[in-house]
């Protein structure tokens, strides 16, 4: 099988390409870090590269929370327009299946329960609460701290930053593409992906990479808020396995969205502690700093991916963090 991978030279892309090669498939990498002419919004060049390909894995994107609103047009260009061009090229090239990198950030704060009112919509946290060190989201009915729950794929989208909004739009565009062409699109909502090769020392780096950079320089990793933010960290090799499995998963025409996570809930503070221990570095410092665009907790139920893809994550967190440090 011949598969185009947009962003195939990136962090997740390299692991996906390796997985495809291991299984005997022929990957076609489309990535401007390999060839500056490989612009994701260049329809003619993308269409030429796509000739003869059976399927597409669309990973190319501007990632991370962003720096400020000066990033807004860059996210819209690379993520929104980029996805639209990929989908148009797929339609014109008669490609019947696309696997797309979505994200758990589409859920915003996810879902949570109140002791009095049960499951309730999670409102945005206020700057007043954050500045006062009250980091938990509060019940819109009574003001009590909410208890975070796992999120399934039927939960509504609630993007809280520009990057999240582009991922929601990616899913909407791919749903329209699938309806118009009769094809199948699988939007994989990746959780916190980490592992060897994780980008670091940029404003868009993941938190695990930021911790590694600090520890490598002999500095204590700094943890925002109180460190109790819940996340699901999943190793890049497990993400690659799920992504490749999605190429041949038995799904109907249309859009199928799947959460891709390890199933193990941990906290940002615990990851910082583990990395400091692995790297024999100084203990993390809890700063109380915050960013309005950050969500407090987001962890999802990934059981549908296990069932539909015939896949399960294999790399435990301690082993994966060791891989990250070594890589």
Per-residue pLDDT tens digits for 85-125: 999 999 999 999 999 999 999 999 888 999 999 998 898 89
What mean pLDDT do residues 301-307 have?
A: 97
174 in Cβ contact with 87 (< 8 Å): yes
CA distance 255 to 55: 15
CA distance 323 to 314: 13
Q: What pLDDT, on the 0 to 100 scale, is given for residue 130?
A: 96
The SS3 of residue 66 is coil
What mean pLDDT do residues 75-91 have?
A: 97
Confidence of residue 301 (pLDDT cuts 50, 70, 90): very high
Residue 327: count of CB within 10 angstroms of its CB? 11
Q: Which two tokens stand for residue 173?
A: 């565009």
Q: What pLDDT, on the 0 to 100 scale, is given for residue 109?
A: 86
227 in Cβ contact with 290 (< 8 Å): no
C-alpha distances out from residue 246 to 28, 191, 242, Å: 17, 16, 6
Q: What pLDDT, on the 0 to 100 scale, is given for residue 236?
A: 96
Q: What pLDDT, on the 0 to 100 scale, is given for residue 65?
A: 63
The SS3 of residue 158 is coil
| Length of the chain as a residue count | 327
Tell me the pLDDT of the chain averaged across its residues. Answer: 94
243-300: per-residue pLDDT in tens? 999 999 999 999 999 999 999 999 999 999 999 999 999 999 999 999 887 889 999 8
Indicate if the pLDDT at residue 58 is higher than 90.
yes
Q: What pLDDT, on the 0 to 100 scale, is given for residue 30?
A: 98
What mean pLDDT do residues 60-66 have?
A: 80
CA angle 196, 163, 262 (to 5 degrees): 45
Indicate if the pLDDT at residue 66 is higher than 80.
no
Q: What are phi and psi of 190, to 5 degrees?
A: -65, 145
For the chain, give the percent of residues with pLDDT over 90. 85
For residue 217, give every residue at least 6 positions away whose Cβ sits within 8 Å of its Cβ, in sequence order, or none: none
C-alpha distances out from residue 44 to 48, 86, 93, 132, Å: 6, 11, 11, 53
227-245: per-residue pLDDT in tens? 999 999 999 999 999 999 9
Tokens 């991922």 belong to which residue?
167
305 in Cβ contact with 249 (< 8 Å): no
Q: What are phi and psi of 22, to 5 degrees?
A: -60, -35
CB burial class (10 A; 0-12, 13-18, 19+) of residue 273? middle
Indicate if the pLDDT at residue 205 is higher than 70.
no
CA distance 310 to 22: 18
The rounded Cα 21 to chain-centroid distance in angstroms is: 23
302 in Cβ contact with 263 (< 8 Å): yes
């Amino acid at each position: 099988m011949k598969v185009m991978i947009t962003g195939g030279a990136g962090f997740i892309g390299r692991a996906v390409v390796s997985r495809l090669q291991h299984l005997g498939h022929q990957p076609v990498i489309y990535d401007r870090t390999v060839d500056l002419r490989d612009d994701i919004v260049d329809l003619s060049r993308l269409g030429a590269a796509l000739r003869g390909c059976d399927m597409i894995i669309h990973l190319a994107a501007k990632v991370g929370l962003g720096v400020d609103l000066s990033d807004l047009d860059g996210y819209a260009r690379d993520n929104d327009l980029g996805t639209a061009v990929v989908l148009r090229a797929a339609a014109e090239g008669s490609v019947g299946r696309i696997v797309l990198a979505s994200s758990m950030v589409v859920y915003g704060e996810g879902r949570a329960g109140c002791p009095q009112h049960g499951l309730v919509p999670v409102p945005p946290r206020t700057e007043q609460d954050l500045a006062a060190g009250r980091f938990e989201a509060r019940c819109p009915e009574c003001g009590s701290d909410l208890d975070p729950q796992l999120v399934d794929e039927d939960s509504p989208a609630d993007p809280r930053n520009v990057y999240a909004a582009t991922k929601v739009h990616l899913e909407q565009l791919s749903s329209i593409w699938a309806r118009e062409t009769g094809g199948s699109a699988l939007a994989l909502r990746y959780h916190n992906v980490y592992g060897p090769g994780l980008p670091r020392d940029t404003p868009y780096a993941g938190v695990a990479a930021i911790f590694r950079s600090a520890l490598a320089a002999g500095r204590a990793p700094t943890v925002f808020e109180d460190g109790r933010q819940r996340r699901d960290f999943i190793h890049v090799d497990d993400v690659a396995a799920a992504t490749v499995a999605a190429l041949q998963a038995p799904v109907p025409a249309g859009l199928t969205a799947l959460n891709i996570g390890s199933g193990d809930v941990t906290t940002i503070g615990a990851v910082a502690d583990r990395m400091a221990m692995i790297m024999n570095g100084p203990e993390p410092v809890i700063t109380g700093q915050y960013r309005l665009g950050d969500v407090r907790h987001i962890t999802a139920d990934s059981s549908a991916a296990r069932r539909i893809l015939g896949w399960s994550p294999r790399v435990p967190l301690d082993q994966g963090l060791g891989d990250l440090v070594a890589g």
